[in-house]
Amino acid sequence: MESREKMLRMYRHMLAIRQFEHKAGDLFTRDAVRGSIHLYIGQEAVAVGVCSALEPGDYVVSTHRGHGHCIAKGGRLREMMAELLGKATGYCKGRGGSMHIADFGSGILGANGIVGGGIAIAVGAAFSAKYLKNGRVSVCFFGDGAVNQGIFHEALNLAAVWKVPAIFVCENNLYALSTPFRDAFAIEHVVDRAAGYGVPGCRVDGNDVLAVYEAAREACARARGGGGPTLIEAVTYRMDGHFRGDPCLYRSKQEVEEWAARDPITRFRAKLIESKVASAEELAAIEDEVRAEVEDAVRFALESPDPSPQDMLNDIYA
């Protein structure tokens, strides 16, 4: 069993993601967030389980549904929310928005608007870690949809041939936008592909944060020990649509309800109380703190100034 402190930190991060996403969704509905927004609600255990196994210097490459990865890896809520609102104080000074948040100081190499666009980039970060012998690992998150992009194949093969410390985390939430897994794959599981690259793979319950954490810890140990990459398939479900406003015509109410009963935060909360890691009162106190942090982030973002076009022109070239 992990330390109490670590488990409570996991709980806090999962809650922070959930509450941040609820706020972000509200702000989108109120037209304060532009474009489209892809919420991580329901998948919190994957980002938090994986990132809890990482060191501060390790790299994370994220996706269009990236807020959770960023928070779990140590991203700051204020800069994140300010970026969603397109403000000068946001992580990307309003240049990127929801799909391009990065925090290089925390090892977050960026979300990505292209499905599968970051997988090979993660391999390159893993290669530099190996070349520079800095002991870091590089984690790449992607959805089941990305697994059918050609670059998934190229990147996994390259990582395996080069034996770099990369961890490929497929968040299989069963739908690539509207296309169900069974219509896009002729195999049972994503992890079945691992053998095709000579890479060890494992499949975990992506709504069980401790199970994800264990799988990630094992993959990290392999990577840091020179054993090369791992493919983890974390089976989960997004409770919101592909984007905020998606009518979700492609899935049944019953299916959504079944997954709601497996909510990763509710489950972890019950486990913490049951195993006497914390009392309900202690957890409620954390919930209040997180709520206040998210409120603070929203206030910070709303009060922040807009960016200037002149300043933007300095960021095209180094």
20 binds other proteins (CB under 8 A): no
122 binds other proteins (CB under 8 A): yes
228 binds other proteins (CB under 8 A): no
Q: Which of 132, 186, 249, 261 binds other proteins (CB under 8 A)?
A: 132
137 binds other proteins (CB under 8 A): no
Specify the DSSP element, H or E, that contains 157: helix 150-162
We find the least distance from the C-beta atom of residue 223 to other proteins, in angstroms, to be: 15
* Bridge partners of residue 61, in order along the sequence: 140
100 binds other proteins (CB under 8 A): yes
**DSSP string of 213-265, one letter each residue:** HHHHHHHHHHHHTT---EEEEEE---SS-SSTT---TTS-HHHHHHHHTT-HH
We find the least distance from the C-beta atom of residue 123 to other proteins, in angstroms, to be: 5
165 binds other proteins (CB under 8 A): no
**# residues near other proteins by CB under 8 A:** 47
- How many Å apart are CA 166 and CA 271, to the nearest integer? 31
229 binds other proteins (CB under 8 A): no
Enumerate residues 6+ apart whose C-beta is below 8 A from 119.
61, 140, 142, 146, 149, 151, 152, 155, 156, 168
Residue whose structure tokens are 């406003």: 245
161 binds other proteins (CB under 8 A): yes
The token pair at 56 is 């501060």
247 binds other proteins (CB under 8 A): no
125 binds other proteins (CB under 8 A): yes
157 binds other proteins (CB under 8 A): yes
Q: Single out the residue of 50, 10, 106 nearest to residue 219, CA to CA.
A: 50
We find the least distance from the C-beta atom of residue 199 to other proteins, in angstroms, to be: 14
- How many Å apart are CA 262 and CA 297, to the nearest integer? 29
Binding site for other proteins (CB under 8 A): 59, 61, 90-96, 100-102, 104, 109-110, 112-114, 117-129, 131-132, 138, 150-151, 154-155, 157-158, 161-162, 314-318
